[in-house]
Chain A
Amino acid sequence: MFLKYAVGAGTALAISIVGVTGPALAKVEGDTITLGSALSFTGKYATNGIHTQRGYDFAVDRINSTGGVKVGGKSYKLTVKYYDDESTPARGAQLAERLIQQDGVDFMLGPYSSGMTKAIAPVSEKFGVPMIEAEGASRSLFTQGYKYLFAVLSTTDLYLPGSVHFAADQKKSIGKSPSDTKVAMAFEGDPFSMDIRAGLVDLIKEYGMKIIIDDQLPADLSDMSTTLTKVKALKPDILIVSGHSKGAATAARQIDEMKINVPIIAMTHCESAKVHEKFPNASTGFLCPTQWVPDIDKKDPMFGTAAQWNADFIKAYPEYSSVPYQSAQASAAVYVWKEAFEAANSFDKDTVRDAIAGVEMETFYGDVKFGPDGNNIAKPMFLRQIGADGSYNLVGSFADLAYPRNVKY
Chain B
Amino acid sequence: MLDNLQLLFVWAPIINLQVILDGIFVGAVFALSAYGLALVWGVMNIKNLAQGDFVIMGGYLALSLHYLGIPLPLILIIVVALMFVFGWGIYILIIRRIIDQDMFVSLLATFGLSLLLQQVLNLFYGPEVQTIDMKMGAYDAFDYMVSIPYSKVLSLILAAIITICVVIFMKRSRMGQAIRATAQDPRAARVLGIDTDRVYAFTFAFNAALCGAAGVLVSIIWVIQPFYGITYSVRSFAIVTAAGLGNLPGVISAAFGIGLFEKYTGMILGTAYEVAAPVAILLIVLIIRQISMKRNRQPVR
Contact = CB atoms under 8 A, between A and B. Distances in A.
Contacts of B267: 226, 229-230
B126 A253 contact: no
A250 B218 CA distance: 13
Contacts of B299: none
Interface residues of A, number: 41
Given A218-B274, A220-B231, A43 B127 contact: yes
B145 A227 contact: no
Interface string A354-397: 00000000000000000000000000000000000000000000
B61 to A, nearest CB: 17
Interface in A169-187: 186
Contact of B271 (A47, A217, A246): A217
Contact of A220 (B11, B144, B149, B228): B228
B149 A257 contact: yes
A77 to B, nearest CB: 33
A390 to B, nearest CB: 15
B271 A215 contact: yes
Contacts of B15: 229-230, 232-233
B4 interface: yes
B224 A249 contact: no
A253 B133 contact: yes
Contacts of B230: 220
Contacts of A253: 131, 133, 223
B18 interface: yes
A253 B231 CA distance: 20
B147 A234 contact: no
A49 B197 CA distance: 47
B225 interface: yes
Interface string B96-134: 000000000000000000000000001100111111010
Contacts of A43: 122, 127
A94 interface: no
A226 B127 contact: no
Interface in A296-328: none
Given A47-B126, A233-B11, A273-B128, A215 B270 contact: yes
B22 interface: yes
A227 B127 contact: no
Given A217-B272, A220-B231, A46 B223 contact: no
Contacts of B7: 230, 233-234
A246 B129 CA distance: 5
Contacts of B270: 214-216, 227
B138 interface: yes
Contacts of B126: 46-47
Contacts of A227: 266, 270-271
Given A233-B7, A250-B223, A224 B133 contact: no
Contacts of B140: 259
From A45, A214, A220, A246, name the one whose CB has the most chain B CB atoms within 10 angstroms: A220
11 contacts: A42-B122, A44-B127, A46-B122, A220-B225, A220-B231, A223-B271, A223-B274, A226-B266, A229-B15, A253-B223, A278-B133
**10 tightest Cβ-Cβ pairs between the two chains A and B:** A226-B266, A216-B272, A44-B127, A246-B129, A215-B270, A222-B222, A233-B12, A218-B275, A249-B129, A257-B149
